[in-house]
Structure formats: structure tokens, C-alpha cells
Amino acid sequence: MNKKEFVINDLLSKIYQNYYPDWKLPTERELAAQYKVSRYTIQESIKKLKDMGMVNVIQGSGIFLNKNLQTSPLIYNSLTENPYSSIKSKVIELQKQPASPEDQQIFGITGNDEVWVYCRLRIVNYRAMQIERSRLPVALFPTLTPQDAEQSIQSYVLKHKYTISHYLNTYEAIALNKEQAMLLQQKRKSPAMKISSRGILSNGKIFETSEIVAIDYRCTYFTAFNNEHHKRRTQ
């Protein structure tokens, strides 16, 4: 872990420890002295915290914590730590397909229904970082254009007046196959993370399934200790 990463992780830890009850961080000069790093390192760390939505910088006033800190256990990952302006999507495939038996089971639809199937390449700062393959029921989304698929799918869902409740994610370490390696410009069998996800609406319906293959993936979670679960495991 380099100096900038240490500063970011330590400040995140202190934020969730309620270490700053006045909702304000020390000055850049004070932080540089505290961590024994340059002011440039502090500035880069604060910029990253700002991109994550953790702090607001008010010129002449200071660095303030965002009082609407997200309640999701996921604080950030290697994609969400970047501002939307640095993330681009390139649609590789977009088509309608008859609902498979698995689609029917997941989305609660019939064999007469169709699903949207799309694949897009997620590019961060001009570097291909993720391959995302997703499926959405046509019954919920009658129209899906390549332009829609290039933008935020969450914004697309919200535009249709649906309320997103949560996601169910499964993480698995994999080695890239030939096709994945070619798209991500990596060597075959390079390590990667596969994230299988289901998006769930507030009414309990699943609106999307996706499978993401990501390189250089990292994430930070804030996880509450479950004492009952701990007791069951030790019995």
C-alpha cells in the first residue's frame, strides 16, 4: 500500500469511527504533518475522497464531511471511486432474445416473453477495466437503445419511474479466458474478479442480472459485526 492509499484508507476509517465530531477534517497542512507526507499527497487523497462522495471542499473554509454518507456496506470499489466523467462505456452487443428457463425463473416471466441482452466494455481513464454482460426483462423496459446502454443503467431504471432497493452480489476470483483477455488487453489467464449481480426493485421484482469481469479490482466495505452469526459458526 503506497502513501496515498494509506492516507485514504486511514481517513475513511476515522470517518466511520466518528473521529471528527464537528464534521470537518484538519487542514491540508495539518494532515501532511500528521501523516508525514507531502501536501500534494494529501491533495490527491482528498480529491479521491471527494470523488467518492465522502467530503466537500469549500475554498477558504475547509474540508467538510458529507453528512449524507451512504448507508450501503460498500464504501467504494475500483470503479465507483472514479467520477462519472472519467468512465465511458462501449456497447459491444445489444439484442432481444427469448426468455431462457433461467430468465423465467429469475424475472418471473414466461417463455413467450423476451429479455434485453447487452454487453459493454467499461473504460476508466482510457483503459478497459471491465466487461459487463446484463439481461433485463422487456416487460419492464420496452425500449433499450445503444445510447441507453452506454449511460448509467441505474439512471435508465430511475427514468422509468422504478425505485431501486438493493443488489445481491457474488464475488469470485477467476482467470481471464481468450475472449476476455482480448477485450481487456490482458494476457490470457490473467487474474480477474467476476461479480454476479441481481438488481432488486422496492416491490421485490428483479430488474436486471449482470456478470462483470473486472481487472485490478479492489473494494472497501463497512460491515457490522453479526454476533448471532458468530455464535452459530462457533457451535
**Beta bridge mates, 124:** 87, 127
Q: 102 and 177 share a domain? A: yes
Q: What angle do CA 112, 114, 115 make, to 5 degrees?
A: 150
12-30 per-position pLDDT tens digit: 888 877 888 889 999 999 9
Residues 184 and 89 in one domain: yes
Q: What pLDDT is attached to residue 218? A: 79
Asked whether residue 91 falls in the same domain as residue 54, the answer is no
We report the CATH number of the domain holding residue 198 as 3.40.1410.10
Is there a single domain that holds both residue 88 and residue 37? no
pLDDT digits (tens, 9 = 90+) for 193-234: 999 999 999 999 999 999 999 998 877 777 667 677 656 667
User: What pLDDT digit, counting tens, does each position of 87-142 carry?
Assistant: 899 999 999 999 999 999 999 999 999 999 999 999 988 899 999 999 999 999 99
**Same domain? 206 vs 147:** yes
Residue 105 one-letter amino acid = Q
Number of domains in the chain: 2
pLDDT for 77: 66
Structural domain of residue 31, as residue ranges?
Answer: 3-67
Q: How many CA atoms lie within 13 A of 71 on its CB side?
A: 2
Round to whole Å and give the CA distance between 177 and 187: 9
- Across the range 36-54, mean pLDDT stands at 91
Q: Residue 84's pLDDT is what?
A: 67
**Does residue 80 carry a pLDDT above 80?**
no
Report which DSSP code applies to 109: -
C-beta separation of 28 from 42 below 8 A:
yes
Cα–Cα distance measured from residue 222 to residue 12, given in angstroms and rounded to the nearest whole number: 10
